[in-house]
Each structure stands twice: as C-alpha cells, then as structure tokens.
Amino acid sequence: MRIIFRRNQLDAILKHAEQCYPKVGYGFLLGKIAQEDIKVADVIRGEQQFAKVKDHILIPPKEFQQAQQWADSKGMDIIGLYRSRPNRSPRPLLVDLDQAWPNMAYLFVETRKQKAVQHKAYVLSEDRSAFYELDILIQ
C-alpha cells in the first residue's frame, strides 16, 4: 500500500511540524482511498499545539467535525492524520494502537532543533494488532 502526496502538500506538513517545534503539531489528511492507494487531495492544519505530550494528543472533536464538513463539501473523506514527533523517531507508539483507526493513514514527522529530519507513514491493520509502513509517493 502507498500514500500519495503532491510535493507542496508534504512540504506544508513538514513546515508546520518545524514551526510547532518543540511542541507537537498535527493535522488532517483529506482525499480518497482506492485499492492500494491512499491519495491525499488536501491537508488541514490542526489549530492547537501541545507543549507536553507524554504518549498521545487529544484532538478536539470540533476540529474533527470541521474537517469532516470541509471534506464532505469537496466530495472527500478524512483519510488520515499527521503529527510531529519532537525529538522522537517517526514511528507509532504502543498507545497509538489504542487510539488509531484502521483504514486511515498516519504520517509521523520527526523534528529536531526546528527541522523535520524524517517522516514515515503507516496504516493500522484491520484487527488493530500492528501498524504497517506505507510507501510514500510524491507526485
């Protein structure tokens, strides 16, 4: 499986992650899932930043609702989330297994000293037992 971004979308996500450092930033990935491709059509930044995050962030339900309304108005779905990982590797944590949803993409961006140093994308298995890394394609 792979996730497909336009260069400007991924650049905007990486810039957002850098701007949030040392806090955690997040956002929504909108688009469509077709067979083996997760196609990102739009990106919406989260409104908050989290200063002290141990293992998880709580995205306000109102933000989910607003993102879903925007997606609906454009004929899209929320297909994933992104979040920065200040001074941490861009991999899911055990707590992410409890909070993530199957069939959604999760892009994690490792930031160090206000720089995005690497990023990886994952999808949760149907049985919620593991994350599988996605190939990232830039168009």
Residue pLDDT, tens place only, 56-104: 677 888 999 999 999 999 999 999 999 999 999 999 988 888 888 888 9
User: According to CATH, what is the number of the domain 2-138?
Assistant: 3.40.140.10
Give the 3-state secondary structure of residue 28. Answer: strand
Sequence ranges of the domains in the chain: 2-138
Residue 53 has pLDDT above 60, yes or no: no
Residue pLDDT, tens place only, 20-31: 998 889 999 999
Between these two residues, 44 and 53, which has the higher pLDDT value? 44
Task: Read off φ and ψ for residue 36, nearest 5 degrees.
Answer: -95, 5
- The pLDDT, as a whole number, for residue 58 is 76
- The pLDDT, as a whole number, for residue 50 is 65
Mean pLDDT of the chain: 91
